[in-house]
Amino acid sequence: MSDPTAPGSPAARHGIGRRPFVVAALGAGLTAAAAHVTASAGPAGRRVSSAARHQVGGLEVIALLDASGPFPAAWTEMFPDATDTDWAAARAIDPAAFGDDGRWHLDFHCYAVRRPSGRVMLVDSGVGPAGSPASGWAPVPGRLPRALTEAGIAAGDVDLVVMTHLHEDHVGWAVGPDGTPMFPDARYLVQRDEVDHLAGDPGSVVWGYVVEPLLRTGQLHQVRGAARLPAGRRGERVLAVPTPGHTVGHQSVVVGGPRDEVIITGDVLVHAVQLADPGVAYALENDQATARATRRALLRRAERADAVLATAHLHTPFVRSRQGR
């Protein structure tokens, strides 16, 4: 499958038109409840569209919802050092994360950054289709192909796919089940450390499903450290920056304009409880001390710049850091 959004494809056949995305500014009550987040934009009630957008100069950052569902464990198991105060703050930020079934519920967001030319950078590719590496635990099939169509993005528009890291729920649509890269004209950017680490794991499903096919086609572009990525006009910048801890070679993407900044975080934080208290560790982080330091540094930076955070797993894709902290 080379073009998931081509006319006649399943995505196109089932495509639904663009519908207005209802945003609601959350009230001042959130300010008191949440230590680090004062306001966010999100759907009123249930989502009416998978797309939410944030404009940074001439660059359009588009949230694409691939999937939504429960994690196979309780939130208390995954964040054992969070306090009652942390949980209360987290509930105020992201109430949908707390399922009636006792399990942590989460969204799986990807982000597109569209330049004025119409070319697109995709950051992460979700849980993927049925049978993808994430299908053992994540809610598959994802709906990224349809979300791209809704946003007016064809697979051929994508010239860069940034992989924040090589976990199963972030690379699901990178390569199709037949081993063909889903974005035929794209380079796939990943930190070299992430690839080296995965190469040492003989049981990795992601290696065979994603890394090997991209190595075969020559589309895997490995970098070490920060990398400047295609931006739009003068005064705009897009950077991949290493944010290790969740995984060895984790990276985030900073989209900056003359007045605004969006940080596409990847899994630097995976739950609102880590916004409420960045010191709260996630049980599955590769290196919790490094992850904690990375999270603190990134949130400090966001607060200084009054940047918007674009997260993978919160139910509101864009959250703004508190001004003046």
> Among 248, 174, 240, 247, which residue's Cα sits nearest to residue 213?
174
Exactly one of 169, 193, 236, 261 binds Zn ion (CB under 5 A); that residue is 169
| Distance of closest approach, residue 121 Cβ to Zn ion, in angstroms | 19
Mask for 111-150, x = binds Zn ion (CB under 5 A):
----------------------------------------
| Distance of closest approach, residue 313 Cβ to Zn ion, in angstroms | 6
| Distance of closest approach, residue 157 Cβ to Zn ion, in angstroms | 25
C-beta of 185 vs 201, nearer to Zn ion: 201
Distance CA 120, CA 59 (A): 10
Distance CA 212, CA 61 (A): 29
Contact stretch for Zn ion (CB under 5 A) within 142-150, 167-175, 216-224, 252-260:
167-175
Distance CA 109, CA 111 (A): 7
Q: Which distant-in-sequence residues (6+ apart) come within 8 Å of 187 by Cβ? A: 159, 160, 161, 219, 221
State the Cα torsion 112-118-119-124 to the nearest 10°: 10
C-beta of 157 vs 267, nearer to Zn ion: 267
Q: Are strands 237-242 and 227-229 parallel, antiparallel or unpaired?
A: antiparallel
C-beta of 26 vs 123, nearer to Zn ion: 123
Is residue 267 at the binding interface for Zn ion, with CB under 5 A as the rule?
yes
| Distance of closest approach, residue 266 Cβ to Zn ion, in angstroms | 7
* 15: Cα within 13 Å, side-chain hemisphere: 20
> What is the contact surface with Zn ion in residues (CB under 5 A)?
169, 267
